[in-house]
Structure 1
């Protein structure tokens, strides 16, 4: 059903005739008459009972008019909402962020975005990189903050890179070293993040390259809790340098990890070739503005 013919019919009823309807829709009376006839032919029944110069609604015409008014109103609302979304007055941005590093890397971006586009609703999801990748593939989120390397199906923009540091109990004999390798920690139990965190794989691969299978004594998604476990002497944990510096404690020594392939490289990732809403495009533009062009 053509909205143009429906609009002509509704205006004929509203204005009480073809002549006034023609003025309302900025068309000739003949054009309006043809539009109504086209609608009647499509429906297969007369909509107006023409008595002299008067036109009365038929029973079918009453139904079409009632429904038509609602359809046209919904169409107008839809177009208005799309205009607002194009103007970034409304919309939704769905972000998936990791527990590690979000406060440092993404909170400032989020604050700028909210100031620029206060009408955009931002829906945040927090998980490890593995689960965020699955949510991204399923189209449940527009962007994910994950550690590189990213799968070929994704495009990405790097937003931060930090070397890892080992967090050791203050009394640990290696706590005074200037740097450590994974081989140096062969006899020290590890405290890792929960499963699904890419940082775990980085650490475990480094240990296996050094020729040993580490003793993992605890897993957690809470950085502060992991630091406390280190302070209690349970084992060694690993954090990006910038984040570790924010959790300094007299009971914990921070020693740089001198191990190839263990840098923590965070990126904002999205599906290659995916449709991006205006709200999503604005977020990507901000990320590029702050961190450079896409990789």
Structure 2
């Protein structure tokens, strides 16, 4: 009888422990959807990025909130999302859980790349969410690789590449000078402009392709202009534009954090620029080769097809 009661007790403890484990276990699939919603700024963009439906993403978030025992996101009628206090607590752990999961998968599969990879890029790439997500993905997938990123203007980065201090450089140019053209981006005006007076410009410091293109086109069309704000960072440019200090020329992929603008209908067209990828001479580590291939895949596949089709239209 005593043995039977003891067995019942252990069965009860086992059932309770299994229920508790299931309740606090956080699904990596749900965590990935949670982070993507935060990184992309909403459910619509997250669904597009993950190639899923919005209802699927919503289901993942609901399941994760049930697992965590807390509401993690607040949504308003406009579709924007905000983290709750518990969501803010979870986000760092979520990134680390997914990083460790990917590292374990790569290590067990024998696909983790090794060696150092040094890449240079201008600030507008470094500040953009797309490229930082790519670097985070690479670092998580290949924990044995040593990633070094250097941010600077194109002239400095190309000199570092020639001196073999960098393996790769990703930059934007009016025309490629020996690099691989991965994609094409329209340059657009953003910010406020008055109907009279010189055009107030918000610019990156020289040398800058956006700055060069804007001044050239304004002078070609007979517009007067003055420089009202100069910042070496994309964050500074965005802040000045949103504060109403003037207009800025930027690639179209850098405008999602900016207020809508009618400047493009009042000022001359700025054309387009190419995203260009350079690699140094000589042999590369496995990590440097792998990152180069990943960049080509991210920026090249769809954009190159679109670029070629527009050229032959």
**Number of equivalenced pairs:** 192
Match of 2:139 in 1: 114
Q: Describe the superposition over 1:28-81 as per-residue Cα deviations: whole angstroms up to 9, x where unpaired.
A: xxxxxxxxxxxxxxxxxxxxxxxxxxxxxxxxxxxxxxxxxxxxxxxxxxxxxx
Superposition TM-score, scaled by structure 2 size: 0.52
- Deviation, 1:91, is 0.8
Partner SS state of residue 215, structure 1: strand
1:193 to 195, 204, 214: 204
Match of 1:163 in 2: 186
Taking the aligned partners of 1:292 and 1:227, their CA distance within structure 2 comes to 27
Task: Give the root-mean-square deviation of aligned CA atoms.
Answer: 3.2
- Cα distance change, pair 213–131 in 1 and its aligned pair in 2 (3 A): farther
Taking the aligned partners of 1:167 and 1:254, their CA distance within structure 2 comes to 8
Match of 2:69 in 1: none
- Deviation, 1:157, is 4.0
Taking the aligned partners of 2:235 and 2:158, their CA distance within structure 1 comes to 25
Match of 2:123 in 1: 99
Match of 2:230 in 1: 219
Partner SS state of residue 139, structure 1: coil
The answer to whether the Cα contact below 8 Å between 1:130 and 1:197 also exists between their aligned partners in 2 is no
- Cα distance change, pair 119–142 in 1 and its aligned pair in 2 (3 A): same
Match of 1:243 in 2: 254
Unaligned segments of structure 1, at least 5 residues? 1-86, 175-184
> 1:278 aligned to 2:286?
yes
- Cα distance change, pair 283–246 in 1 and its aligned pair in 2 (3 A): same
Taking the aligned partners of 2:262 and 2:223, their CA distance within structure 1 comes to 23
The answer to whether the Cα contact below 8 Å between 1:129 and 1:146 also exists between their aligned partners in 2 is yes
Unaligned segments of structure 2, at least 5 residues? 1-110, 305-313
- Deviation, 1:121, is 0.6
The answer to whether the Cα contact below 8 Å between 1:157 and 1:269 also exists between their aligned partners in 2 is no
Taking the aligned partners of 2:297 and 2:155, their CA distance within structure 1 comes to 27
User: Any residues of structure 2 matched to 1:1-295 within 5 Å, and which?
Assistant: 89-102=113-126, 103-149=128-174, 152=177, 154-158=178-182, 160-169=183-192, 172-173=193-194, 187-211=198-222, 214-248=225-259, 253=261, 255-256=263-264, 259=268, 262-271=271-280, 273-292=281-300
- Cα distance change, pair 90–200 in 1 and its aligned pair in 2 (3 A): same
Higher helix fraction: Structure 1 or Structure 2? 2
Larger radius of gyration: 1
Taking the aligned partners of 1:131 and 1:167, their CA distance within structure 2 comes to 27
Superposition TM-score, scaled by structure 1 size: 0.55
The answer to whether the Cα contact below 8 Å between 2:174 and 2:209 also exists between their aligned partners in 1 is no
